[in-house]
Amino acid sequence: MENEYVIPANTRIGHVHLKVADLSRSIRFYCDLLGFEIINKIGEEAVFISAGGYHHHIGLNTWYSKNSPRADIHSVGLFHTAIVYPTKKDLAIIYNRLSIAQYPFTGFADHGVSLALYLDDPDGNGVELYWDKPKEDWPQKEDGSILMYTKRLDIQDLLKEL
């Protein structure tokens, strides 16, 4: 089947809404540790959080998942939520903050187009914290298409931003 429709270039992903087992625990992770702000809270069942006062970037709820076990890494579902930081320095700051808190990382990568930190939230949902390199610095293949890869992230270079 040939697809003639092309989604508009300025389309974006608006928010992610996650089922969580313990709302307070998730608020501690997303707000107290990562720094999101609570925009709206619905009792003890749901919260909507954002960066910079947007109506919400992330919704968290226990409507169907209260006290459920962690997400199984080998089942279908969300691989990760990707959170884009505006500058390389901002990525260095959150790396440092998580390191000081001794929060476990699951990986680090230089993808050519971005630098990324990987971790899991308390429910086992993957979280990618990343910074996009300037578009003019993105590597390209011979045909001009974007060359993405996974190489070791140079943490010491990242920390030079602090």
52-66: pLDDT as tens digits: 999 999 999 999 999
Percent of the chain clearing pLDDT 70 (strictly above): 99
Alpha-carbon gap, residue 36 to 57, rounded angstroms: 9
120 pLDDT more than 80: yes
Q: Residue 47 forms beta bridges with which residues?
A: 41, 60
**Higher-confidence position of 2 and 135:** 135
Name the strands in the sheet holding 80-85, side by side, starting at the edge strand that comes first in the sequence: 80-85, 126-132, 114-120, 105-110
Does residue 157 share a domain with residue 87? yes
- 74: in domain: no
Q: What does the pLDDT read at residue 72?
A: 87
Segment 76-107, tens digit of pLDDT: 989 999 999 999 999 999 999 999 999 999 99
- 7: in domain: no
Domain count across the chain = 2
Does residue 152 share a domain with residue 104? yes
Contacts 24+ apart (CB under 8 A), 67-74: 67/21, 67/22, 68/19, 68/21, 68/123, 69/21, 70/21, 70/122, 70/123, 70/124, 71/123, 71/124, 71/125, 72/124, 73/124
Does residue 91 share a domain with residue 38? no
CATH code, domain with 86: 3.10.180.10
Alpha-carbon gap, residue 12 to 84, rounded angstroms: 13
Do 45 and 23 contact (CB within 8 A), yes or no?
yes
Does residue 162 share a domain with residue 89? yes
The whole domain housing 97 covers 80-162
Mean pLDDT value across the chain: 95
Does residue 103 share a domain with residue 61? no
- 101: in domain: yes
Does residue 118 share a domain with residue 45? no
